[in-house]
Amino acid sequence: MELRQLHLGLDWVHAPTSYDAACLCGRIQFRINEKPRVHYCHCTMCQRATGSPAAVLGWVKKTAVLWGKEHPTEYRSSPVAVRSFCGVCGSPICLAYDGSDEVGIHLGCVSLSKELPPYYHYGIEGRLPWFDAGKELEGTVTSEKW
C-alpha cells in the first residue's frame, strides 16, 4: 500500500523524520523514515563506486527505507557487501553489508541532505590529501576484511 502511494504521489502519514530520495534520472525513488547516521567513506571501493574522492553515506535501518515502484540494480562488490545503483542512469544508491539490518544510502540522492552533515570519517587509509572536507572530524580505518 505504501509503495503504491509513493508511486502515485499521494499524501503520506508523515513520520517525524523522513527524507525523499531519488537517482539522477528519477527512475529510482524512495523515502527514508529515519534520520541517517552520516559519514564520509574514503575507502578505494567507495571511490570507484562513486567516481569521487569519497562517498558520503547515511546509514538507516533497512526497514526505514520505502522503495517506490522501481528498485535499484544490485552488484556484489565484495564477499561481504552488495552495492546498488540505478540501472538506467548509474547513480549509486546504497551499500549493504551481508547480515546487517542497516543500509548506507549515498547522501547525494537524498533531498534535504544539507540538513544531514557527516559526523566522522571512515576508510581513512584511502583518504586523498587534497580532499579537505570535514577536517575537524574524527576518522578510522576500514575494518572490513575478507
Binding stretches for Zn ion (CB under 5 A): 23, 25, 27, 41, 43, 46, 86, 88-89, 123
As measured in angstroms, the least distance from the Cβ of 23 to Zn ion is 3
Closest C-alpha among 123, 87, 129 to residue 104: 123
> Which residues of 2-133 form beta strands (DSSP E)?
19-22, 29-32, 37-41, 55-61, 65-67, 73-78, 81-85, 92-97, 102-106, 121-122
CB nearer to Zn ion: pick between 16 and 143: 143
As measured in angstroms, the least distance from the Cβ of 30 to Zn ion is 12
As measured in angstroms, the least distance from the Cβ of 22 to Zn ion is 8
CB nearer to Zn ion: pick between 38 and 41: 41
CB nearer to Zn ion: pick between 17 and 100: 100
